[in-house]
Structure 1
């Protein structure tokens, strides 16, 4: 598995975590609470979220490195839609 991680500074981390998980729960078997969440997109890709006072940490795990950039973009786009009131700095690292 290939891992990448992004930590987004925001005072609304728990809200965004819950919104993202609820949104994807219509298509995937999602587990979450106000502080952590997991979205298995398929057998070869999943994201975990952790919310604390400093921000939202996202860890993406993919089997195929060719999926990594596309999945990061999907997660980024959804997060930005929910956080439209603030400018988020999302930087993924391997």
Structure 2
């Protein structure tokens, strides 16, 4: 299992957590409660946590290709939702 994680420093972490989970829930198993959320894609899964200062995202997938696809989907949506903050990309840290 391949794993990676990132964080987005923002005061709007809870808002973005809700947006991501609600959006993904239209097509896949996804949801949130309080400051925790998840999204289970056919190719990988994500767990998210928000607080007053950030949004943390941890993902896992069976192989590197699936991990990269999971990163791309989450990142492209978050960049779109956070356009006012001029987010261009996330810095992912892959687990060894």
- Calculate the TM-score normalised by the size of structure 1: 0.91
SS at match of 1:50: strand
Aligned to 1:29: 29
**Does the aligned pair in 2 maintain the 1:76–1:90 contact within 8 Å?**
yes
1:33 Cα shift?
A: 1.7
**Does the aligned pair in 2 maintain the 1:4–1:92 contact within 8 Å?**
yes
SS at match of 1:53: coil
- Which 5+ residue runs of structure 2 have no aligned equivalent? none
Aligned length: 93
Aligned to 1:7: 7
- Which 5+ residue runs of structure 1 have no aligned equivalent? none
Q: Which runs of 4+ in 1 moved over 6 A?
A: none
SS at match of 1:90: coil
1:70 Cα shift?
A: 2.2
